[in-house]
Amino acid sequence: MGFSIGYGNSIVVSNGAQVVSTGSLIGGERSFDNHVTVTGPNSEWNMSSGLIVGDGSGGNSLIIEDGGYVESSSAHIGKSSSNVWQADANQVVVSGEGSTWNNTGKVTIGNTLSTVIGNRLDVGNGGTVRAGGGVVLVSSLDTLNLNSGGRLEIGTDFNASMTGFNYNSGGELSVEGQLSGLSNLESGRRLETPDLLGDLTVHGIFAPGTSPADSLVDGALTIAADGTLEMELGGYALGSEYDRLTVTGFSILDGLLDIASLGGFAATNGANFDLFNWDGGVSGTFSAISTTALSGGQYWDTSELYTTGQLSVIPEPSSIGLLGLGSGILLFARRHRRRKGAGEMPAVHTTKPVSCDSFNVPAEVIATRRRDFWDVLDSFARFGGCIKIFALRSFDAFLAMVMK
């Protein structure tokens, strides 16, 4: 059955109560000041058809708060009919952590015939509004306000420059289709979209895709010093398990690159992720790169990030150095056994301890047998002098033990 309330009425759905209806109307023609509130966790109003808040009337409202949930197939806030009066606005407000208004179809705000002005949809403070069929603002006097802590999810294309859309600080905008009309993502705002048309400068947080996706910026991209580019890794399949971003225009990089892990995903040695296609060229580098921790002996290689756009997992330099150290010890041991068989005994010298940053190591050395191992260490000199000296001192201790 349908659900309709007339003049000066109020209904509250709370304490986990659930209401089920087909099409519903809050305030018909010349029926003013009607209000429905859905409040609290598990409190729900589910409609199998559309919802109208104010049909040729004003001062009607739907309030979803403190975890309440409302679902409708479509919605119209401030719909017109004939012989309307001048009246206050109709409004829907979604506020409070977990509060949700889920529309599988289109949400329309305002009309061209009615003298009811200022119809509005407000979402903030932990609330979420989903419009699977998009949002239409009919009149320049009607508004869609995405406020701090609010999340607006659009299931199709969206023009962010339409009159009446206010993208305020702290708001999150997620567009599953193509986003146009947004050239400056201001500080404190979060944007998710797999398809952006036009140039974009990022001062807030830009997360390509609404989940891992193969995304496109069809224009130039600038990540400002206070901006963040967020990429997701949840597996090894490009587009479905990890993000890739293609930029057709010129890219200017600064700010933070945040590599987020999904579902506890941990990349393994040898993994390669094609994160970026810099089709229009690139200038600058990220001022910081945030990544998830890898298991011991591995680290993130970003050397190809600004050319091929690739991020890889490779062994840590210290791991490679220890591998070389082990090889050097084995090589020396073989040589020593041969020379010891010929009656040759090395001399042992004592020197002062050597400190290299955090390394304070024993001072026992065997000068005549260190030369071969030093040559081996030379091949690993690019990993730093301290590693080389530490390896040599460790080798000296080994020699002192085996050559007694």
* DSSP states of 267-307: --TT-EEE-EEETT-EEE--SEEE-PPPPTTEEEE-TTTTT
Number of H helices, E strands in the chain: 3, 43
Is residue 351 over pLDDT 80? no
* Cα–Cα nearest to 247, from 278, 293, 201: 278
Residue 179 and residue 59: Cα distance in Å, rounded?
A: 32
Please tell me which residue, 301 or 5, carries the higher pLDDT value. 301
pLDDT for position 315:
86
In this structure, are 155 and 7 located in the same domain?
yes
Residue 390 and residue 173: Cα distance in Å, rounded?
A: 53
Contacts of 359 (CB under 8 A, 6+ apart): 386, 389, 390, 393
In this structure, are 254 and 162 located in the same domain?
no
Segment 224-256, tens digit of pLDDT: 999 999 999 999 999 999 999 999 999 999 999
In this structure, are 191 and 157 located in the same domain?
no
Boundary-marking domain end, from 130, 160, 176 = 176
**Segment of 23-27, 249-253, 300-304, 352-356 carrying the highest mean pLDDT:** 249-253
> Taking the CA atoms of the chain, what radius of gyration do you get in angstroms?
33
In this structure, are 54 and 66 located in the same domain?
yes
In this structure, are 164 and 248 located in the same domain?
no
Residue 14 and residue 42: Cα distance in Å, rounded?
A: 8
pLDDT for position 247:
98
Residue 348: domain span: 317-402
In this structure, are 328 and 290 located in the same domain?
no
Is residue 2 over pLDDT 70? no
State the pTM of this model.
Answer: 0.78
pLDDT for position 339:
47
* Cα–Cα nearest to 357, from 398, 383, 389: 389
Segment 82-125, tens digit of pLDDT: 445 555 789 999 999 999 999 999 999 988 765 567 899 999 99
Residue 197 and residue 54: Cα distance in Å, rounded?
A: 35
Is residue 178 over pLDDT 50? yes
Quickly tell me which residue has 């058809």 as its tokens: 49
In this structure, are 167 and 223 located in the same domain?
no
Q: Are 281 and 306 in contact (CB under 8 A)?
A: no
In this structure, are 263 and 283 located in the same domain?
yes
Contacts of 318 (CB under 8 A, 6+ apart): 383, 387
Residue 141: pLDDT band (50, 70, 90) is confident
In this structure, are 170 and 270 located in the same domain?
no
pLDDT for position 29:
79
Length in residues, the chain: 404
Residue 143 and residue 138: Cα distance in Å, rounded?
A: 9
In this structure, are 121 and 203 located in the same domain?
no
The residues that bridge with 137 in the sheet, in sequence order, are 109
The residues that bridge with 145 in the sheet, in sequence order, are 122, 166
Cβ of 338: how many Cβ atoms within 10 Å? 10
In this structure, are 196 and 131 located in the same domain?
no
Q: Provide the domain count of the chain.
A: 3
Percentage of the chain modeled with pLDDT above 90: 62
Boundary-marking domain end, from 285, 315, 345 = 315
Q: Give the range among 300-304, 346-350, 382-386 with minimum mean pLDDT.
A: 346-350
Boundary-marking domain end, from 256, 285, 315 = 315
Dihedral sign for Cα 61, 65, 69, 75, please: positive
pLDDT for position 239:
95
The residues that bridge with 330 in the sheet, in sequence order, are none
pLDDT for position 4:
61
Residue 62 and residue 121: Cα distance in Å, rounded?
A: 10
Residue 88 per-residue DSSP state: P
In this structure, are 393 and 338 located in the same domain?
yes
Residue 209 φ then ψ, to 5° = 85, 160
Quickly tell me which residue has 């945030």 as its tokens: 290
Is residue 322 over pLDDT 80? no
Segment 368-390, tens digit of pLDDT: 444 555 555 554 444 444 454 45
